[in-house]
Structure 1
Amino acid sequence: MRGRHNDPYKRVGSREHIPAYDKGENPVRLLNNKPSWRRSLRHVLVASLSSFLFGYHLGVVNETLESISLDLGFSGNTIAEGLVVSTCLGGAFVGSLFSGYIADGVGRRRGFQLCALPMIIGATMSATTKNLWGMLLGRIFVGTGMGLGPPVAALYVAEVSPPSVRGAFGSLTQIATCLGLMGALFIGIPAKEIVGWWRVCFWISAIPAAILALSMEFCAESPYWLFKRGRGAEAEAEFEKLLGGIHVKPAMAELSKSDRGDDSDTVKVSELLYGRHFKVIFIGSTLFAFQQLSGINAVFYFSSTVFKSFGVPSDLANTCVGICNLLGSVIAMILMDKLGRKILLLGSFSGMAVSMGLQAIAASSFASGSGAMHLSVGGMLLFVLMFSLGAGPVPSLLLSEILPGRIRAKAMAICLIVHWLINFFVGLFFLRLLEQIGAKVLYTIFGSFCLVAVLFVKKNVVETKGKSLQEIEIALLPQEAN
């Protein structure tokens, strides 16, 4: 790559790393002192705005869908209602498809800004439309930004966070998603009482999108991306912003260990799908598939409808859903770097299977009246709590850790394409399946996927807590080469 030959941080053997530090530095001090998380926190918080927007647009149609359908003239048409929910997921598929090329081509910071732009355009179109087609077009634009945001956020947070807190910082994006969902639910509560309030709900979303685009001008670029582009001096400057001057030399030396002189632009899709990286991409895609086949987004999209069938006020139900989601995400942030990713995934999917079992029982003849209501509502809230403990925050974080730097952005995009495809069909057909096969069978299917996910995680997922991205890459690549 151009500029690589003059790079002072060319790849060296592991025994040469300590001498590579400045002679004025104390190696023992460098090894014992962990970089402060405070320097990188503000950059992660700005990046988390993309996750907030992701959650907001997932939940914005929950409380407002009834008002939207009445105002735009498609009330009672379940396919049209499903399209309003899931069209943005089709747009997200498109955004995810190009996310790897954008993140690698223009960088992580510009990727966030390109994520914010269609969200602003789409929110404006949705807020001002007079018919169903205008709403769907606006949702497609919003979805494009939603598809671009999560992979860029996962890459960026993993690449700017110190290893000791990377799990916690990765969980911040899930917390931001929860806050976005809760914000959408709370802002949507007046929609049934105030005519046209649903339009305000869409207008409001343009504000955090604009803040994201502007704030990224003042955030650090990913040193990993800069180094991969042959811009070693700029990467060093960004490491100083993120870690502090004392940790720059060790970070650059560590970064050089996994560099193999490959230009990410030469990565071919065939290499990702059939080459030595297939196994890790298969693991990531399957984790995202199980995440969606668990039925979680059916809960987020249609919780108002489900709770309403039991006579539970939708605003109360959705508030409880939001609180459980946020509580679980906070607990996950605390435990992520203590228990590790694999333990949280196993516990999460196991708890979700039990929760779906409770809901299946509630929908059967074994329960009736208040007993069925308590089982269903309790099972759904437990399901959301267990999801947010592991199945929600871990897959994106884990993939950004185990994917080699050379293919990280493009491989993440492939894994998220699977995510969005399944998400789209769950959102589109959930209500129809609920009508056709009933809640008991549908919840049993969701629970079965959760059980299969437990077996898959136990067999295939590796633990990554506390390790640098370079250590993980070096450990995994020899196995992939065999």
Structure 2
Amino acid sequence: MSISTSYKAEKRSNKSVTFFVCFLAALAGLLFGLDIGVIAGALPFISHDFQISSHEQEWVVSSMMFGAAVGAVGSGWMNFRIGRKYSLMIGAVLFVLGSLASALAPNTEVLIIARVLLGLAVGVASYTAPLYLSEIAPEKIRGSMISMYQLMITIGILAAYLSDTGLSYTGSWRWMLGVITIPALLLLIGVFFLPDSPRWLAARGNDEKARRVLEKLRDTSEQAKNELNEIRESLKVKQSGWALFTNNKNFRRAVYLGILLQVMQQFTGMNVIMYYAPKIFGLAGFASNAEQMWGTVIVGLVNVLATFIAIGLVDRWGRKPTLILGFLVMAVGMGVLGTMLHVGVESMGAKYFSIAMLLMFIVGFAMSAGPLIWVLCSEIQPLKGRDFGITVSTATNWIANMIVGATFLTMLDSLGNANTFWVYGGLNLVFIFITLALIPETKNVSLEHIERNLMSGKPLKNIGD
């Protein structure tokens, strides 16, 4: 065999290994999506069986967000101590336990506790998987690989909606919640085959093992060697975590940007659609349970398909222009939907047009803020502060998520249907200007190069230059 042929075979093999590793890690997103999506279809049956109020329904929904915020905070320490691989393993165990406890809950109180446990699992997964993917994937495909994690979330949501719809004819909400145990067990098995992050290994002083992992994941040994040298250079920063945050203003800028990005993602209003989809279809004039459930499935399908737009654009067109387009599409979708609810949706044409605006909003989110916020948050933090920075941003995501989930029904009651959707439409317009002013373009740039720009004091919007 010639040297050229051998090199090409090695290159194909390494790309296959990289893709397999990233795909397996992204399976955590599938469970994330299942847990987000399943409650939308189960909630009407839970509220009927347990006779709970709108406020108690909000707590059933948002309790998972509370657990996720706690799980995200704890994930920083756990990832630092035991690494990304074993943190994902713990998350998978929590998914199994939380799913079983939810399915067997005898009352609302136990169900809320079980949802908190599931939230812990989601918090671990939402922290660890994008971080792991950002540290494993080469910079040329890093955006699409982390976007694949978001794709798995959308597939999980769609699978939950289909499962809910199939089980809705019998009202079997316990099966809706319990079926998540199966993919959780698959993830637990799959994680055993993952390598540890080379950046985490190097940070722990295990350079030789880090080199071996990189050689399996990169096209050539020379690429692996160069990347390991860049990682070592990043590790020369003496301070880390909280000490780095308190003493380095440039690192603080990255942490604050991560917080802002996650607040922007949550206040687009997307998770309002995910958690309360049947309710929103009811507002749009589709009164029967079957119409609402199948409408929810359509929401999930559009969410999956539109995520492929992000995977195609993120490493070609870039993060920033894709975000701007997405926020614009979401602002128009939410604004027009609010207007339709204001003027009334009496005719069949008005009902379908309202749903078209809802689906337009979902396309905007799935092609932009859904995956790209996770991409950016995993890219902008320096290596010695990455665990701390992503802990803060992921916890922010779930705190904002909890606020959105716990206030939507109250907003509908106090502000009215139209005003509620107008508020979210207006926020998406604001996010366009924030993106223009602050968000960097990071496509095809190594994590170490982004770090050098950040720590040298470049403006945030220029750290990807």
Do they fold alike, i.e. is TM over 0.5?
yes
The 1:435–1:417 alpha-carbon spacing in structure 2 relative to 1, beyond 3 Å, is same
2:180 aligned with 1:198, yes or no? Answer: no
1:332 is aligned to 310
2:415 aligned with 1:437, yes or no? Answer: yes
Structure 2 matches for 1:19-34, cutoff 5 A?
A: none
The 1:469–1:304 alpha-carbon spacing in structure 2 relative to 1, beyond 3 Å, is same
1:74 is aligned to 51
2:75 is aligned to 99
Query: What is the CA-CA distance between 1:257 and the residue it aligns to?
Result: 3.3
Query: What is the CA-CA distance between 1:269 and the residue it aligns to?
Result: 6.4
Query: What is the CA-CA distance between 1:443 and the residue it aligns to?
Result: 1.0
2:357 aligned with 1:360, yes or no? Answer: no
Query: What is the CA-CA distance between 1:253 and the residue it aligns to?
Result: 2.4
1:375 is aligned to 353
Query: What is the CA-CA distance between 1:315 and the residue it aligns to?
Result: 2.5
What are the Cα deviations for residues 95-143 of structure 1, in whole angstroms up to 9, with x where unaligned? 0111111111110001101111221111111111111111111101000
Q: Give the Cα–Cα distance (whole angstroms) in 2 for the partners of residues 199 and 252 of structure 1.
A: 49
The 1:341–1:467 alpha-carbon spacing in structure 2 relative to 1, beyond 3 Å, is same
Q: Give the Cα–Cα distance (whole angstroms) in 2 for the partners of residues 35 and 230 of structure 1.
A: 28
129-138 or 307-316, larger mean C-alpha shift: 307-316
Q: Give the Cα–Cα distance (whole angstroms) in 2 for the partners of residues 252 and 155 of structure 1.
A: 17
2:132 is aligned to 156
1:87 is aligned to 63
RMSD: 2.3
Structure 2 matches for 1:120-159, cutoff 5 A?
A: 120-159=96-135
What are the Cα deviations for residues 407-445 of structure 1, in whole angstroms up to 9, with x where unaligned? 112111101222111110111121121122111111111
Structure 2 matches for 1:169-248, cutoff 5 A?
A: 169-195=145-171, 197-246=172-221, 247-248=223-224
Query: What is the CA-CA distance between 1:190 and the residue it aligns to?
Result: 3.1
Unmatched segments (≥5 aa) in structure 1 = 1-24
1:268 is aligned to 242
Whether the 8 Å CA contact 1:276–1:481 is kept in 2: the answer is: no
Whether the 8 Å CA contact 1:167–1:333 is kept in 2: the answer is: yes
Query: What is the CA-CA distance between 1:241 and the residue it aligns to?
Result: 2.0
1:282 is aligned to 256
What are the Cα deviations for residues 124-168 of structure 1, in whole angstroms up to 9, with x where unaligned? 111111111111111010000111111211110011101111111
What are the Cα deviations for residues 372-406 of structure 1, in whole angstroms up to 9, with x where unaligned? 32332111100011001111001111111111011
Among all aligned residue pairs of Structure 1 and Structure 2, give the percentage whose two residues are the same amino acid: 27
What are the Cα deviations for residues 210-251 of structure 1, in whole angstroms up to 9, with x where unaligned? 222222121111000101111100101111222255332222
Whether the 8 Å CA contact 2:26–2:152 is kept in 1: the answer is: yes
Structure 2 matches for 1:294-333, cutoff 5 A?
A: 294-309=268-283, 310-311=285-286, 313-333=291-311
The 1:234–1:165 alpha-carbon spacing in structure 2 relative to 1, beyond 3 Å, is same
Question: TM-score, normalised on structure 1?
Answer: 0.88
1:478 is aligned to 456
Whether the 8 Å CA contact 2:161–2:297 is kept in 1: the answer is: yes
Query: What is the CA-CA distance between 1:462 and the residue it aligns to?
Result: 0.9
Q: Give the Cα–Cα distance (whole angstroms) in 2 for the partners of residues 50 and 129 of structure 1.
A: 24
Whether the 8 Å CA contact 2:165–2:294 is kept in 1: the answer is: no
Question: TM-score, normalised on structure 2?
Answer: 0.92
Whether the 8 Å CA contact 2:263–2:397 is kept in 1: the answer is: yes
Whether the 8 Å CA contact 2:261–2:373 is kept in 1: the answer is: yes
Amino acid at match of 2:93: L
Query: What is the CA-CA distance between 1:70 and the residue it aligns to?
Result: 2.3
1:20 is aligned to none
2:463 is aligned to none
Query: What is the CA-CA distance between 1:352 and the residue it aligns to?
Result: 0.6
The 1:349–1:198 alpha-carbon spacing in structure 2 relative to 1, beyond 3 Å, is same
